[in-house]
Structure 1
């Protein structure tokens, strides 16, 4: 059986559902029925795409069909089962067991062992959690009742997260695939080259701009790295950046694509559903943190280029800005349509993305009618979208197991109570640090959306109860789930970039953490100072922006250009100045007098710091060799 056909059916179903074709044809389809069919196809596609070999081939195919049949059986009987929920016979729980087993196996093959094991652990807790000791003792449930709750309840697998994936995320995946197919990726690279290629350290700044723009096409960090990195990493190496540094810049810039408005990663839609707010509200809240993420990375790259004398490309070797901007219409015009539908007309995110994808195809029809009308071209679009959707659907389904188990067993209440005691004993910073560490650890083997769902369900209530503003709490968890992609020992984004650069993976991972150090600090800033997510008065927001901007300026100056300050007490004094004036004022109450004084004092401090660095510039002209790098191993 061809997995291409099965995966191609997923976006076809999604398009029909988003455009409400069943309702227009007079058919009544309940949301859970649609979700069950989509999940059944995703499970079949996941198992068929990565089959077992040898003697297990045919039994594996039979298992895949049975697992899909379990979800289709749910869709077929869902209306009747709503009236017979008290009956839990084998005609219900046998298909449920097959369906969930197939879903977990497909998740293992596509998303890794960690996420599949997590699903099994929560299922085990649902069955036997009533035997757990003390605070973690769960409610007793009959096995058939718990299994069917996870299988068919709207608080279980066919619930909120799967609904987001099969509607909003599906629309944006289609949008990204169409934009790439009609030339949006190439147009983006040319535009970035024309705007940034001639600047100091130009190729690195091209990587930052190109990767942030590519985030509008794809919510995948690794896809971002592999798409833009093949162009930008060789350019950076040719300009004089060490291999490990070029790879790390690309990894950090690509990772930020998931937090860059107006089209953020899949997790942003889940945040909107969890908080019961519009997707536009999440975009607005994430705007300033995303801006500072790229601003601080840009500053570090710029100061590194100054310290090591790395210049940009000659203008005559680069595309002209005017023609590049005109040639970027395959990217910019559909994005304009998306913003219009989302923020002006107020359409739902999935429908807005779908209409924007159709607009991109319509524009491409004018430019390349034969390509656009080609059945092979359209089939490739559907198959590519389906392949991207399969792991997203599976992650969302496992998230349903986690949420359902927490709801029905009372585990969420127990964990919130336990974490509340931690916060009371060690303070808010202890709770934030524990949440950050857990998000990074889970992110080693899980996609960002999976990390966010698990941590937000378990820990977000405790953060809010401890005094963190609700949006800040959820963005805090989102950021650290994302930063697991850069954190060794399993820094997937850095290692993917290292494979292109030909650099040592561990050194690339360590360099990526250094470049992203401000990204590790930003979540703590907006957790303690919610003005950064627009939760405050204009005066509070203005003071916060000034303090954080200058704090980032100071930190970038020291981190990227530290050889220029000499050694010993001199460097220590400069570092202390940057951290105390910049970092501390960033987390003070934004309307307080100390914050205002710190904001005003930090501006001349930044000017003095750059003047101070200028005297030692010659000390940093040599770029350390990738092979020695004693500094990278000891810092």
Structure 2
């Protein structure tokens, strides 16, 4: 590949670096060394302060504790100060010096942000005898002046860091606050005074300093910092090399490796643009080398990099906002998002495979030839079976010893688990030594995977044993010591293989790196990720505390890994400590600079949220969208998706999510209830989130597409459209999990969850094959249509079954007591109810009532908290008891029950899988007959 600067229609290397810097960290690099050091020092202090407030240390020593009202202004103060120093005002503004006006703006803006903290301090109270919090809703003249200047400074910082769109949207909402009486028709409202707006937007916690900025302060910063430290330690290159060593030999292997590498680097970079450049600089030239066009190679990188924001356990900033908006734990958010994210990535790998099949591409040469496809599939099957068998055996073994009830028996169970792991470790070592296949077919990778599963069981049991034996006081110290020992042991293993060096993407590739030494070279990077996942998923610690412990471990790793590698390799230790300390400082500075844009975005989005809460415009816009959709939830979802895509052309993902979810999420839930569809709030928020991540893909403004085109030399607009087409599988998933919440693992057992994952993955692959026009061979139009229809049937078999056999029998409202007395316990009945909404307009809803107790119809009515008044053929709700199932279902006084729906004896919806699979088999046979040579190879992604 030639230098990108010579590619027609692409950005030069310098312009590419400037694009990434200006988007993520600020494009200004002062020549004055003292100023550069000062900016770095401010960023460093910001990172250290964020680590301090997240740590348990302030609470232990009883000093240095910051409340949310105190921490948010400081967080925004740092963001605004660095934004004016790091981001030039205009394209023509100086990049290598900071104008005097920017210094003034930085100081004034940060002081305005800090005003809430300063005005509430004990010093101000002792001087003036009053604090800001002592006069809520009654700001003084000086308060209003500071708030007004602060909002202007924030809007200018937003324009610099994020571009004009978010600033313009915020100004429009602010203007509406003042000009409400002059707004047309249904948008008109009484308006607000200058003081009221200043107080609501800046001095209270309803606007700028609201939930969004609070999430940025308490959660997002630590996760971004964790990623920056992980990257500075070398994990980014490690993930790329591992992906290429494992997948580079497959058809279209570099593109598949790019997908996997981008998914893994999603742990490191919260920025899709930085992700594109980090992995794309290496992967895009590789993809072009095996036959991908510049546009397709850039589009694959864009689609996989943007999807990094939906990949658990470390998702984008919007995921942390969901914790606050939906009021569920982060563990629940991750659980609900897991299957759609995995399916989306699998489908993208399959898209790459189909593109390779269309062009008959080959992979890159591998140093050690892999096993034949059939043997590899057999190996995979045996490995998965072994994992399930070993995992189940260990689980029941531990349950048996736990039933015996002594700590000694639990310790014996732990020892047995690790003894089994030791046997498998010996098996790996023996296989590597004499190059024999264990059982003839099980690969080294399979044994390693079994080891990981067994190790996870062992760690789980061991931590439980230590916690019980050492008690809550000493257990953390013991566990911490074991983590350090595990880290040292992993470094000892890593030190036996050479360090990974980033290859020159322009150099010819003679062979891919060998998987074993590549994987071993960075095993210690997995430990902090494991600690983060453990704290989030197993210990159920708060996201802040989980991220703090992961960051603390990363700091320890950066300070010690160089010395440990030198020690185990018997190299000189001189200079290793200084190098590790330098990398730590650079990582802390990088993490803070990566947060500038996010801090500004969440604060500016707070202006929009504040306007919605102050004016009630959210209800007005919701009614407008509801009117346009004519009460049809599918149209409502389409309008929501379109709104997200339009806003996504200029707003970052986080701001897009805040705006759309604040306006439309409650309306979708309400409209779903009116249509008899119970839509969980988390499903709606994930729907908005998924379309929000398209912000960096959507033409013509998708910055990630421009960055990828700059590397590939392709046309940016065409790259964006191809990336958008590749991302269709991401766009279709939100519609599916709105109507099939099992995809979000809502109300399913673990076994049902496995079944849902398998079926949904197969359906998504068929949908991908249908939209790509290629399955076993090039598909005819009717074959593509049938593949999409089969995919829909696998996703929603209930849609067709409801057309064949209605799911509910209609009963008269006057029969409700008899119906309740006849249905089985555990059944859910539905009531069609007429009533009035909050503003007195007629409203029809569908209420779902679970029958959870035995008894007569009257007893069950009482258990539901429902009192009825029957007048002739009219059934009126006389009372829905407080905190009862009836109230939770949306029933209220004076509503009229029109119909009662009782579940019918509908056949299992899964029966419709049979005709769908039969049709799929016929398509398979027809396409295999047309392309017999490619059938075998296309049956697997390898």
Contact 1:208 1:298 in 2 (8 A): yes
Moved more, 304-313 or 379-388: 304-313
1:459 is paired with a residue whose SS is helix
In structure 1, C-alpha distance between the alignment counterparts of 2:190 and 2:64, rounded to whole Å: 40
Q: Per the alignment, in what secondary structure is the counterpart of residue 50 of structure 2?
A: helix
Mapped pair 1:95 → 2:132: no
Of 358, 379, 382, 2:585 maps to 379
1:392 pairs with 2:614: no
8 Å contact kept, 1:300–1:559 = no
After TM superposition, give the deviation of residue 86 of structure 1 in Å: 4.4
Superposed, 1:470-485 pairs within 5 Å as 470-485=681-696
> Residue by residue, what CA displacement relative to the aligned partner does 1:82-122 show, whole Å, maximum 9, x if unpaired?
11224322220111111111111011000110011111112
CA distance in 2, matches of 1:378, 1:149: 40
Instruction: Find the counterpart in structure 2 of residue 445 from structure 1.
Output: 650
Q: Distance in 2 between matches of 1:574 and 1:554?
A: 11
The DSSP-based 3-state class of the residue aligned with 1:368 is: helix
Distance 1:612 1:219, change over 3 A: farther
SS at match of 1:484: helix
Residue 202 of structure 2: aligned partner:
151
Matched, 1:326 2:520: yes
Residue 501 of structure 1: aligned partner:
712
Match for residue 919 of structure 2 among 592, 595, 605 = 605
Shift of 1:600: 3.3
**1:624 aligned residue:** none
- Mapped to 1, the partners of 2:721 and 2:234 lie a distance apart of 34
Q: Is the contact made by 2:631 and 2:671 (CA closer than 8 Å) also made in structure 1? A: no
Structure 1: distance between partners of 2:54 and 2:65 = 14
Per-residue deviation at 1:355?
1.5
For 2:933 and 2:249, locate their aligned partners in 1 and report how far apart those are by CA, in whole Å. Answer: 25
Q: Is the 8 A contact 1:564 1:619 kept in 2?
A: no
1:43 and 2:249 matched: no
Distance (Å, rounded) in 2 between the aligned partners of 1:542 and 1:421: 40
Partners of 2:588 and 2:599 in 1: CA distance = 16
After TM superposition, give the deviation of residue 231 of structure 1 in Å: 1.1
Partner residue of 1:359 out of 553, 560, 568? 553
Moved more, 547-556 or 481-490: 547-556
Asked whether the equivalents of residues 301 and 560 of structure 1 are also in contact (C-alpha less than 8 Å), the reply is no
User: Is residue 17 of structure 1 aligned with residue 226 of structure 2?
Assistant: no
| 1:18-69 CA distance string (max 9 Å, x none) | 1155543435643212211211121111011124558993233223211211
* Structure 1 Cα separation of the partners of residues 790 and 721 of structure 2: 26
Q: For each residue in 1:488-516, what CA deviation from the matched residue of structure 2 results, as whole angstroms up to 9, or x when unmatched?
A: 22222222212111112222222212222
What is the correspondence of 1:422-433 to structure 2 with a 5 Å cutoff? Answer: 422-423=628-629, 425=630, 427-433=632-638
Q: Is the 8 A contact 1:225 1:250 kept in 2?
A: yes
Distance across 2 between alignment mates of 1:361 and 1:373: 14
* Residue in 1 that maps onto 2:469: none
Q: Answer yes or no: is the 8 Å Cα contact 1:431–1:463 preserved in 2.
A: yes
Partner residue in 2 for 1:350: 544
Q: Distance in 2 between matches of 1:604 and 1:372?
A: 65
Question: Matches of 2:680 and 2:797 in 1, distance apart?
Answer: 15
Q: Do structure 1's residue 517 and structure 2's residue 728 form an aligned pair?
A: yes
Per the alignment, residue 214 of structure 2 pairs with 163
Q: Deviations over 1:460-484 (max 9, x none)?
A: 0111112232111000000011123
| 2:354/2:772 contact within 8 Å kept | yes
Of the structure 1 ranges 284-293 and 548-557, higher mean CA displacement relative to structure 2 is found in 548-557
Alignment of 1:183-202 (within 5 A): 183-202=234-253
The residue aligned with 1:586 is: 795
Q: Structure 1 residues 362 and 540 mapped into 2: Cα distance closer, same or farther (>3 Å)?
A: closer
Give the conservation status (yes or no) of the 8 Å contact 2:743–2:760.
no
What residue ranges of structure 1 are gaps of 5+ in the alignment?
Answer: 622-635
* Structure-to-structure mapping, 1:140-539, within 5 angstroms: 140-316=191-367, 317-369=511-563, 370-371=575-576, 373-374=578-579, 375-423=581-629, 425=630, 427-467=632-672, 468-538=679-749
- In structure 2, the residue matched to 1:76 is 118
Count of equivalent residues: 617
Instruction: Report the CA distance shift for 1:515/1:289 in structure 2 as closer, same or farther (over 3 A).
Output: same
Partners of 1:304 and 1:615 lie apart in 2 by: 20
Q: Quick one: structure 1 residues 267 and 84, their matched pair in 2 at CA, closer, same or farther if it must change by over 3 Å?
A: same
- Structure 1 residues 410, 554: CA separation in 2 closer, same or farther (over 3 Å shift)? same
| 1:628 aligned residue | none
CA distance in structure 1 between the partners assigned to 2:98 and 2:241 by the alignment: 49
Q: 1:374-408 deviations in whole A, cap 9, x for unaligned?
A: 55333312221111011000001012111111111
* Preserved contact between residue 548 and residue 583 of structure 1 (Cα < 8 Å): no
Classify the secondary structure of the residue corresponding to 2:299: helix
CA distance in 2: counterparts of 1:509 and 1:86, whole angstroms? 48
Note the C-alpha offset of 1:151: 0.4
The aligned counterpart of 2:844 is none
CA contact (8 A) 2:559 2:584 kept: no
**Partner Cα separation in structure 2 for residue 90 and residue 180 of structure 1:** 48
- Structure 1 residue aligned with 2:760, among 534, 541, 548? 548
Q: Please give the alpha-carbon distance, in whole angstroms, between the structure 2 residues aligned to 1:180 and 1:77.
A: 39
Q: Which residue of 1 aligns with 2:180?
A: 129
Output the CA distance in 1 between the equivalents of 2:245 and 2:918. 33
Farther-moved stretch of structure 1 (303-312 vs 246-255): 303-312
* Residue pair 1:139, 1:410 contacting (<8 A) in 2 also: no
The answer to which of 79-88 and 464-473 deviates more is: 79-88
Supply the distance in 1 between the matched residues of 2:532 and 2:757 (Cα, whole angstroms): 28
Cα offset, 1:313, TM superposition? 2.0
**Greater alpha carbon shift after TM alignment, 497-506 vs 108-117:** 497-506
Q: CA deviation at 1:572?
A: 2.2
Q: How big is each residue's C-alpha offset from its partner over 1:237-259, in whole Å with a ceiling of 9 and x where there is no partner?
A: 11122221111111111111000
Question: Considering only aligned residues, what root-mean-square deviation do their CA atoms show, in Å?
Answer: 2.6
TM-score of the pair, normalised by structure 2: 0.62
**43 and 20 in structure 1: CA distance in 2 versus 1, 3 angstrom threshold:** farther
More helix by share: 1
**TM-score computed with the length of structure 1 as normaliser:** 0.91
Deviation at 1:553, TM superposition (A): 2.5
CA contact (8 A) 2:296 2:719 kept: yes
Q: Taking structure 1 as reference, are residues 469 and 116 closer, same or farther at Cα in structure 2, changes over 3 Å only?
A: same
For 1:580, what is the secondary structure of its paired residue?
helix
For 1:51 and 1:508, the matched residues in 2 are separated by: 28
- Offset, 1:541: 5.1
Distance 1:268 1:563 in 2: 35
Deviation (angstroms), 1:546:
4.9
Higher mean Cα deviation, 380-389 or 593-602? 593-602
Q: Which moved more, 1:6-15 or 1:368-377?
A: 368-377
Deviation at 1:331, TM superposition (A): 2.8
Unmatched 5+ stretches in structure 2: 1-34, 122-130, 368-510, 564-574, 673-678, 803-906, 936-942
Q: Distance in 2 between matches of 1:171 and 1:60?
A: 28
